[in-house]
């Protein structure tokens, strides 16, 4: 164990604060979206990713990657959304083994209605807490960390 680079007190403090942010923030976003739009943050992310895609359609595997989700979890989320008419599943024309997910008009309307509240929550709880310089620093910090934990950019590809 002699070659372990143990954390300093300062590093422990910073790590614990970062971990708290990572743990608390999804619940904060979930609460706002459930209260105001009757959807989870993951469901919102699915709708947002689909809305930005050509023809509002993505392969299930691509959708899972863009929302940093497992394929199993994404399948459950898409099933719930499809039951509500918010998305539609179809076989991929290019690969019959793959499934496409398409944002329906109803789903797009739901996203448009939910976006102002979600953006307000993100702005008030995250962006407004940082100065422009801190925001640039955080962007650089996130790039540095993501380069280590997602070197191929699979989870952050747009």
Write down the pLDDT at residue 118: 97
Q: pTM for the complete prediction? A: 0.87
* Interval 80-98: pLDDT, tens: 999 999 999 999 888 878 9
Report the chain's mean pLDDT, rounded to a whole number: 94
Q: Taking 80 as the threshold, does the pLDDT of residue 154 lie above it? A: no
Q: Taking 80 as the threshold, does the pLDDT of residue 1 lie above it? A: no
Q: Which helix (H) or strand (E) holds 91?
A: strand 87-91
Q: List domains and CATH numbers for the chain.
A: 9-149 (1.10.10.10)
Banded pLDDT at 157 (limits 50, 70, 90): low
Q: Taking 60 as the threshold, does the pLDDT of residue 101 lie above it? A: yes
Query: Is the Cβ–Cβ distance between 98 and 92 less than 8 Å?
Result: yes
Write down the pLDDT at residue 158: 52
* Strands ordered across the beta sheet of 99-103: 57-59, 99-103, 87-91
Buried b (16+ CB within 10 A) or exposed e, 131-153: eeeeeeeeeeeeeeeeeeeeeee
Banded pLDDT at 142 (limits 50, 70, 90): very high
Banded pLDDT at 150 (limits 50, 70, 90): confident
* Interval 36-59: pLDDT, tens: 999 999 999 999 999 999 999 999
Name the one residue in this structure whose structure tokens are 């595997």: 61
Write down the pLDDT at residue 97: 84
């Amino acid at each position: 164990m002699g070659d372990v680079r143990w954390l300093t007190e300062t590093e422990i403090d910073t790590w614990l604060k970062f971990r708290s942010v990572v743990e608390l923030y999804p619940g904060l976003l979930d609460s706002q979206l459930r209260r105001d739009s009757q959807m989870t943050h993951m469901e919102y992310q699915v709708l947002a990713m689909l809305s930005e895609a050509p023809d509002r359609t993505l392969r299930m595997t691509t959708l899972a990657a863009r929302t940093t989700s497992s394929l199993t979890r994404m399948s459950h989320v898409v099933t719930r959304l499809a039951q509500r008419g918010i998305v539609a599943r179809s076989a991929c024309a290019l690969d019959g083994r793959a499934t496409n997910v398409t944002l329906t008009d109803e789903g797009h309307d739901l996203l448009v209605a939910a976006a102002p509240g979600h953006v307000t929550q993100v702005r008030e709880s995250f962006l407004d807490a940082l100065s422009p310089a801190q925001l640039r620093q955080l962007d650089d910090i996130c790039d540095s960390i993501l380069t280590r934990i997602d070197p191929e950019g699979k989870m952050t590809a747009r």
